[in-house]
Structure 1
Amino acid sequence: MSIVVSGRVRFFVEGTERIASPGDVLHLPPHCWHGATMMDEEQVLMDIFTPVREDFLG
């Protein structure tokens, strides 16, 4: 799941494009093809994974 906190983001999920703005929430099904392009100079996204993505932890 991704939550747009600030800025605008163009998301691509399984061939569908969506522009997301602050407050928008996107659910990404497991193993789906997805990507994003940042549309503003600055943006903040909050990504939530379950189960935890150990490969994303520093």
Structure 2
Amino acid sequence: MSDYFISPSERVRHNIFPGVDIFTAAGEQLMLSYVVFEPGAVVEEHSHPHEQMGLLLEGEMIFIIGGERRTLQPGDMWRIPGGVPHSAIACDNKVVALDVFHPVREDYR
């Protein structure tokens, strides 16, 4: 184990919704989350006090943030202030995204 590098076996896995798995690693003040959606998987509308930003790496998804709906492609980014409701729907293919949370989400440790 290293203080600087995180191997796949050291990441924490959570199934947050059917067909949606996240793999997380946390520092002192922020958390990185690698998110994998099966085709058609849905992250139901929710909110949390954490600031969140993300990047779509693979696939296509519909993201709804604060009532604004967008279809995202690889390379698209988002930012979600704490407390703003949001949801996401994977389209016809697997989706991979990267999310960053501040502060650390203790429920994802």
Please say whether Structure 1 and Structure 2 have the same fold, judged by a TM-score greater than 0.5: yes
How many residues matched?
57
Q: Which has the higher contact order (CA 8 A, sep 6+)?
A: 1
Greater strand share, structure number? 2
Helix, strand or coil at the partner of 2:71: strand
Extract unaligned runs of 5+ from structure 1: none
Q: Which structure has the bigger radius of gyration? A: 2
Helix, strand or coil at the partner of 1:27: strand
Letter in 1 for 2:55: I
Which residue matches 1:6?
58
- Deviation (angstroms), 1:33: 0.6
Letter in 1 for 2:95: Q
Letter in 2 for 1:19: T
The TM-score with structure 1 as length reference comes to: 0.90
Alpha carbon RMSD of aligned pairs, Å? 0.8
Residue 91 of structure 2 is aligned to residue 50 of structure 1? no
Question: Would you identify which runs of 4 or more consecutive aligned residues in structure 1 move more than 6 Å?
Answer: none
Helix, strand or coil at the partner of 2:107: helix
